[in-house]
Amino acid sequence: MSTADFQSALNPAASESAHILHLFWTFFWVTLVIFALVAIFLFIAILRNVRRAPDDPQLAILPEPAQESESRATKVVSALVVITVLILFALLIGDFFTGNAIYATPDPNALAIKITGHQWWWEVQYQDPQPSEVMTTANEIHVPVGKPVKLELQSSDVIHSFWVPNIHGKKDLVPGHPTTTWFTARRTGEFRGQCAEYCGEQHAHMRMVFVAEAPDAFSSWLTAQKKSAPEPMSDSQRHGREVFLTSKCVMCHTIQGTKARATLGPDLTHIGGRKMIAAGELLNTRDHLASWISNASALKPGVRMPPNQLSSRDLNSLLDYLESLK
Amino acid sequence: MKPKNVCKVQRAVPGALAGARPIELETARSTLNFLRSCFPYCLFLVPFLFVSCEREQRTLVVQPPSAQEALVQQMTDLAPGPEHNKPPSVPNVDENNSWMMSEGKRFYEAYNCVGCHAHGGGGMGPPLMDEKWIYGHEPQQVYATIVEGRPNGMPSFRGKISNDQLWEIVAYVRSLSGLTNQWAANARDDHMKGPPPPNSVPQGTPHDSSEPPPQ
């Protein structure tokens, strides 16, 4: 799949984006035909007048048109105005029905996901009536195919905008004003979302991984994510956890099952299982993770994570531990 | 030319445009002359462009700390306090920078200083917006208090907060009682209105408490 496919409104994967694409092509073809007609008639008009141009440019003045051609022109222009209004009205009706289809009241049983925009990452919380079943992750959204999903959007700092082009249009995340949007994914696939409202230095690198998968795969993913972080298996991993809990990490991050409970940065309970780090910017490899921990602002200037000076043994143990958090 | 047959629209042929050009040129020239005559009078505005440069400077790439431990002045062995050993005042560059002070404010809330000190009014911990300082009001003393912790509840944040962030918090804490430059203060509070905004009211002279530390 090329880049144009996994972040493209022209390759819909949900009912909503399909509706929007349908409307887009309708507008596109209608306006294209009208544009072509206007261009052709304009060209004809120019050619006719150029042919009649007198030699002396100072006398380039049009003669008064004859009475009958004047009245014919009035009729033609009036008819064209009426046709234009009718076409615009038809497009308006199409727009109305599309809006109605994608913003109809959502299914009350929809899967509710709360998304909080931060500078510059996405906090994703899978809601559940049972508080112990609420699951928090970051920068990675999985949804089941065929089930309506309701997104509750909010922001902790500035205005962001949630946009996965293959799934739906944009929806702003406004601080202090929760917004809602919903969609139903129709086919499996992995897509990329992007913040669509300028929100600061790293706005362009505020991305997310969006995975639409079969309901079975989704529920097993969700069950795994709800578990606490696995216990460290080796000495190195145990030391890594010790480093995590006794250094700066613990001031901002959460790892469920440990004493790290801060919510300023992304939840790291299952960081080892994520595809990307740094808000969809870097592949989740040991190298990237190491340079991110050592000096994140060298990779993303302006990022809120401070540099961390760790000895190589501590850093390696920490990486061992983080990679074990599947 | 017969006026009866004249239509006011000129043809859009190059010749007609050439006829109109001198007038446009003249307009442009007079506009330019006008701007040129205004220019000397506008020069006095130039210094204002640089007035708040320093106040708003921010660094996007934070340099990694050197390997050595952050410098903390140990004041005494047992009871750190201003009477025993007052360190010389070190300038904290963050106090002249509104961005860094607002960052300090963010960390003050994020690292849960608010949990005990509230937004300066105090609670479980002593208030920070009055002029009384138990362990000294100099930037270095405030820094040492945060890093080392203090008796009766103030935890040590050594190794938990990066050095840059610590100095930003120090700047914000000092701004709460009006000890930093007023022109660099962040004037607006995002939380519910409680105390007046940092640096908005003149405070008494800061004095380091002569009372013994709370038991």
Q: How does A264-279 read in b/e, with b if 16+ C-beta sit within 10 Å?
A: bbbbbbbbbebebbbb
For residue A181, pLDDT over 60 is answered with: yes
Q: To the nearest whole percent, how much of chain A has pLDDT over 90? A: 70
Cβ <8 Å between A64 and B5: yes
User: Across the interface, which of B5, B10, B65 has its CB nearest the CB of A60?
Assistant: B10
Amino acid in the structure at residue B205: T
For residue B60, the SS3 value is coil
The CA distance from A243 to the nearest CA of chain B, in Å, is: 11
Flag whether residue A73 sits within 8 Å of chain B, measured between CB atoms.
Answer: no
The string of pLDDT tens digits covering residues A266-302 is 999 999 999 999 888 899 999 999 999 998 888 998 8
Distances (CA, A) of A70 to A65, A245, B17, B87, B176: 6, 86, 27, 94, 78
Q: Give A264's contacts in chain B (Cβ within 8 Å).
A: 110
User: Across the interface, which of A58, A64, A297 has its CB nearest the CB of B62?
Assistant: A297
Q: Edge-to-edge, what's the strand order for the sheet holding A171-173? A: A140-144, A207-213, A189-195, A160-163, A171-173
Nearest CA in chain B to A56: B15
Report the mean per-residue pLDDT for chain B.
Answer: 73
Distances (CA, A) of B69 to A100, B147, B158: 62, 11, 10
Task: Report CA torsion sign: A21, A23, A29, A32.
Answer: negative
Distances (CA, A) of A51 to A47, A139, B112, B204: 6, 64, 81, 88
The string of pLDDT tens digits covering residues B130-155 is 888 888 888 888 888 998 888 888 99
User: Across the interface, which of A53, A58, A302 has its CB nearest the CB of B19?
Assistant: A58
Cβ <8 Å between B110 and A59: no
A200: region left, alpha or beta (phi > 0 left; psi from -120 to 50 alpha): left
User: How far, in Å, CA of B109 to CA of A191, rounded?
Assistant: 35
Interval B189-207 mean pLDDT: 60
User: How far, in Å, CA of B178 to CA of A94, rounded?
Assistant: 61
Distances (CA, A) of A173 to A177, B46, B145, B155: 8, 39, 39, 36
- Write down the ipTM of this complex: 0.74
Q: What is the pLDDT of residue B7?
A: 43
In this prediction, residue B212 has a pLDDT band, given cuts at 50, 70 and 90, of: low
- Rounded to 5 degrees, what are φ and ψ at A208? -150, 155
Q: Are B176 and B198 in contact (CB under 8 A)?
A: yes
Residue A210 pairs in a beta bridge with A141, A191
For residue B44, pLDDT over 90 is answered with: no
- Rounded to 5 degrees, what are φ and ψ at A213? -135, 170
Q: Give A290's contacts in chain B (Cβ within 8 Å).
A: none
Cβ <8 Å between B65 and A295: no
Q: Are A211 and A141 in contact (CB under 8 A)?
A: yes
User: Across the interface, which of A63, A301, A307 has its CB nearest the CB of B65?
Assistant: A307
In this prediction, residue A13 has a pLDDT band, given cuts at 50, 70 and 90, of: very high
Q: Give B60's contacts in chain A (Cβ within 8 Å).
A: 201, 297, 301-302
For residue B9, pLDDT over 70 is answered with: no
Chain-centroid distance of CA A130 in Å reads 29
State the best of B62, B68, B146, B169 to mutate against chain A, taking most chain A CBs within 10 Å.
Answer: B62
User: How far, in Å, CA of A23 to CA of A16, rounded?
Assistant: 11
For residue A87, pLDDT over 50 is answered with: yes
The CA distance from A248 to the nearest CA of chain B, in Å, is: 4
If one compares A100 and B56, the residue with the highest pLDDT of the two is A100
User: How far, in Å, CA of A135 to CA of A116, rounded?
Assistant: 13
CA-based diameter of chain A, in Å?
Answer: 99
Q: Are A143 and A218 in contact (CB under 8 A)?
A: yes
Interval B172-201 mean pLDDT: 70
Q: Give B9's contacts in chain A (Cβ within 8 Å).
A: 62
Q: Are A272 and A325 in contact (CB under 8 A)?
A: yes
Q: Give A301's contacts in chain B (Cβ within 8 Å).
A: 60-61
Cβ <8 Å between B5 and A60: no
Interval A104-125 mean pLDDT: 90
Cβ <8 Å between A201 and B60: yes
Cβ partners under 8 Å of residue B130, min gap 6: B177, B203
How big is the A-B interface in CB pairs under 8 Å?
74
Nearest CA in chain A to B20: A58
Cβ <8 Å between A60 and B11: yes
* Range name among A35-39, A231-235, B86-90, B95-99 with the lowest pLDDT average: B86-90
Q: Is this model's pTM higher than 0.95 or not? A: no
The CA distance from A30 to the nearest CA of chain B, in Å, is: 30
Report the mean per-residue pLDDT for chain A.
Answer: 90
Amino acid in the structure at residue B133: W
Flag whether residue A290 sits within 8 Å of chain B, measured between CB atoms.
Answer: no
For residue A117, pLDDT over 60 is answered with: yes
Tokens of A261: 């409970």
User: Across the interface, which of A57, A302, A309 has its CB nearest the CB of B18?
Assistant: A57
User: How far, in Å, CA of A290 to CA of A221, rounded?
Assistant: 26
For residue A96, pLDDT over 90 is answered with: yes
SS3 assignment for B105-157: HHHHHHCCCHHHHCCCCCCCCCCCCCCEECCCCCHHHHHHHHHHCECCCECCC
For residue B213, pLDDT over 70 is answered with: no
Neighbouring CB atoms inside 10 A of A103's CB total: 13
Tokens of B164: 């840059």
Interface of A with B in 186-215 (CB under 8 A): 201
The CA distance from B111 to the nearest CA of chain A, in Å, is: 7
Q: What is the pLDDT of residue B14?
A: 46
In this prediction, residue A143 has a pLDDT band, given cuts at 50, 70 and 90, of: very high
For residue A68, pLDDT over 90 is answered with: no
The CA distance from B188 to the nearest CA of chain A, in Å, is: 15
The string of pLDDT tens digits covering residues A197-231 is 999 889 999 999 999 999 999 999 999 999 999 99
Cβ <8 Å between A306 and B162: yes
Cβ <8 Å between A57 and B19: yes
